[in-house]
Structure 1
Amino acid sequence: MSSVEATTTPAADSATVEQTGGIRIRNLTHRYGRGPGTVTALGPIDLEVAAGEFLMLVGASGCGKSTLLRILAGFEPVRDGQVEVGRAAPVPGVGSGVVFQQPRLFPWQTVGGNVELALKYAGVPRELRAARRDELLARVELDDTAARRVWEISGGQQQRVAIARALAANTSLLLLDEPFAALDALTRDRLQDDLRRVSAESGRTNVFVTHSADEAVFLGSRIVVLTRRPGRIALDLTVDLPRSGVDPDELRASARFAQLRREVASAVKAAAA
Structure 2
Amino acid sequence: MSAGETTTSGRSAPTGRAGSVRLDQVVHRYVRGGEAVTAVGPVDLTVPAGEFLVLVGASGCGKSTLLRLIAGFERPTHGSVRVSGAEPRPGGAAGVVFQTPRLFPWRTVRGNIDLALRYAGVERGRRPERRAELLARVGLEGTEERRVWEISGGQQQRVAIARALAAENPLFLLDEPFAALDALTRERLQEDVRRVTAQTGRTTVFVTHSADEAVFLGSRIVVLTKGPGTVALDLPIPLPRGDVDAEELRASPEFTGLRARVAHAVKAAAAA
- If the length of structure 2 is used for normalisation, what is the TM-score? 0.94
Check 1:21–1:137 CA distance in 2 against 1; reply closer, same or farther (3 A cut).
closer
What is the distance in 1 between the residues matched to 2:73 and 2:117? 21
Check 1:137–1:12 CA distance in 2 against 1; reply closer, same or farther (3 A cut).
farther
The one of 76, 90, 93 equivalent to 1:92 is 90
The Cα of 1:245 is off from its aligned counterpart by 2.8
Q: Which amino acid aligns with 2:102?
A: R
The Cα of 1:18 is off from its aligned counterpart by 2.6
Aligned length: 265
The one of 202, 208, 221 equivalent to 2:200 is 202
Check 1:165–1:263 CA distance in 2 against 1; reply closer, same or farther (3 A cut).
same
* 1:40-81 Cα shifts (integer Å, max 9, x gaps): 000000000011111000000000000000111111112310
Specify the SS of the correspondent of 2:15: helix
Instruction: State yes or no: 1:173 paired with 2:171.
Output: yes
* 1:140-193 Cα shifts (integer Å, max 9, x gaps): 000011111111110000000000000001210010000000000000000001
Number of the residue aligned with 1:239: 237
Counterparts of residues 1-273 of structure 1 (less than 5 Å): 11=9, 14-33=12-31, 37-273=35-271
Check 1:114–1:85 CA distance in 2 against 1; reply closer, same or farther (3 A cut).
same
What is the distance in 2 between the residues matched to 1:197 and 1:32? 37
Check whether the contact 2:17–2:85 (CA below 8 A) recurs between aligned residues: no
Check 1:89–1:229 CA distance in 2 against 1; reply closer, same or farther (3 A cut).
same
- If the length of structure 1 is used for normalisation, what is the TM-score? 0.94
**Which has the higher relative contact order, 1 or 2, with Cα contacts under 8 A spaced 6 or more apart?**
1
The Cα of 1:20 is off from its aligned counterpart by 4.5
Check whether the contact 2:81–2:87 (CA below 8 A) recurs between aligned residues: yes
Q: Once superposed, what is the RMSD of the aligned Cα atoms?
A: 1.5
Name stretches of at least 5 consecutive residues in structure 1 with no aligned partner: 1-8
The Cα of 1:16 is off from its aligned counterpart by 2.5
Specify the SS of the correspondent of 1:244: coil
The Cα of 1:35 is off from its aligned counterpart by 9.2
Check 1:112–1:80 CA distance in 2 against 1; reply closer, same or farther (3 A cut).
same
* 1:229-272 Cα shifts (integer Å, max 9, x gaps): 10000000000000013200000000000000000000000000
Specify the SS of the correspondent of 2:16: helix
The Cα of 1:100 is off from its aligned counterpart by 0.5
What is the distance in 2 between the residues matched to 1:147 and 1:158? 13
Check whether the contact 2:58–2:226 (CA below 8 A) recurs between aligned residues: yes
Check whether the contact 1:118–1:169 (CA below 8 A) recurs between aligned residues: yes
What is the distance in 1 between the residues matched to 2:267 and 2:162? 34
Q: Which amino acid aligns with 2:146?
A: R
Percent of aligned pairs sharing the same letter:
68
